[in-house]
A and B are shown apart, each in its own frame.
Chain A
Amino acid sequence: MQNSDALGGKEIQDLQQLWQESAKNESINIKEQTMIKSMNPQLSNFEVEFGTGKKRTVLAYGLLTCIWAFDLIQDIRQNEGIYEIIFHAVALLFGASMLFFHFWVHRNTSHYDESSMQSYVEMNLWRTEQQLRLEHRVFPIAMAILFAFLTLDITADFSLWHTFLFGMMMTIIFIGIYAYRKGRVGDLLKPLRDKLQSALQQLNEH
């Protein structure tokens, strides 16, 4: 019986050794950066929610800038009138600024330290801040300026009714939007900042 027990003990030891060897040298390479991002779906989805600095946004503004540049050249060549020329010049300026802005954000975001979640979160937060600033401050005021020149252009070509119904109204609406939204960037960012801070805090607590 004792022999049998000793034999069983030896066998079990062999099995333990065999078991330890079963995953020995089997390599699993963990892609750390992808893993850390995938741990929090909120963070991995964060990137796709905003188009700021994305290649597709840069391309879209590049295309718009080209179209407006073409229109401006046509206006000048065909002598379409000063207001139309100014309108397209402002549009071109707007397009070129947007192109520059998105390209700048794109360059910055592609150079952050991808191995650090802190850096990843901070960069995305910064990008979102720029996006909101753009949507709530720059865009309404740029549109107001554009429509102001469009109003002047319409007045020259069409009736006073068109001016009131379309051009001036649109200018006023965008000025109103600007006035309403200019203080909201901080309010909109706060919950987002809190959410991301709690994700980081979770990491810090351990």
Chain B
Amino acid sequence: MTQTTDTKSTTAREAEFVRLLNNNKARVMRLCKAYTTSREDREDLFQEIAVQLWKALPTYRGEAQISTWLYRIALNVALRFSYDTKRRKPVSERISWIEETTPHPHDDATRERIEQLQRCIAALPEVDRSVMVLYLEECSYKEISEITGLTETNVGVKISRIKDKLLGCMRKDDGGAA
């Protein structure tokens, strides 16, 4: 009886992890896009983030919101990945458990705008990029502060400055395109 309960419990935990990953895969994917340039790297990074989330699961005590906890881990992995990619270090576990991705069905104009936004974000310095990604993810200043370790005031100042930079970049690209 106890063993049956244990089996059910373990299966439930696994299902919980898979559910967490599935519920947040769009968020994680957007973050991956901000730190990688190729699809292969993006999938590697996604996989690495998932592995780290799995390893970190036992340490999650529910003190922070699950999204804050997830972003904190994902961002750390992304920053390390970005650093490692420059030195071409292989990802720890290259086991393919991600199936083929399908291209997004946006029209040409939207796709171009998305690519333009991604280019502008990629051009930001790494800390600014982290803050901006979280801001675009609609995280509050408090959450961004908890994730990045910056003070809330600092986050506010940074966001205001990065917003201008980002909008400037988008307008410049628009002007260039026109």
Contact = CB atoms under 8 A, between A and B. Distances in A.
Interface of A: 8, 11-12, 15-16, 18-32, 34-36, 38-39, 41, 44, 115-119, 200, 202-206
A-B complex: 9 closest residue pairs judged by Cβ atoms: A29-B99, A38-B95, A34-B97, A19-B136, A23-B29, A35-B97, A31-B97, A118-B10, A206-B57
Contacts of A28: 25, 29, 43, 46, 98-99, 101
Given A30-B99, A44-B95, 13 more contacts: A18-B114, A22-B104, A25-B102, A26-B103, A28-B99, A29-B98, A38-B95, A116-B10, A116-B11, A202-B57, A204-B13, A206-B16, A206-B57
B98 A8 contact: no
A202 B22 contact: no
11 contacts: A19-B137, A22-B114, A22-B118, A23-B26, A26-B102, A26-B104, A30-B25, A35-B97, A39-B55, A117-B14, A203-B10
Given A39-B54, A118-B6, A206-B13, A32 B18 contact: yes
B163 A8 contact: yes
Interface in B159-177: 163-164, 166-167, 170
A35 B58 contact: no
A44 B97 CA distance: 13
Interface in B25-41: 25-27, 29-30, 33
Given A8-B167, A19-B117, A35-B50, A200 B30 contact: no
B65 interface: no
A73 B62 CA distance: 71
Contact of B51 (A21, A24, A39, A115): A39
Chain A: interface secondary structure? Answer: helix
Given A28-B29, A30-B21, A39-B51, A15 B13 contact: no
B9 A204 contact: yes
A15 B104 contact: no
Interface in B92-131: 93, 95-106, 110, 113-114, 117-118
Given A15-B117, A16-B136, A19-B30, A204 B6 contact: yes
A203 B55 CA distance: 10
Contacts of B83: none
Chain B: interface secondary structure? Answer: helix
Contacts of A205: 58
B93 A38 contact: yes
Contact of A15 (B22, B43, B166): B166
Contacts of B30: 19-20, 22-23
Contacts of A16: 135-136, 138
Contacts of B16: 206
B33 A23 contact: yes
Contacts of B10: 116-118, 200, 203-204
Given A205-B58, A206-B58, A30 B97 contact: yes
Given A16-B138, A203-B14, A26 B113 contact: no
A15 B25 CA distance: 20
Given A21-B106, A21-B114, A35-B97, A11 B167 contact: yes
A41 to B, nearest CB: 7
Contact of A116 (B7, B26, B43): B7
Contacts of B118: 22
A103 to B, nearest CB: 27
A118 B13 CA distance: 11
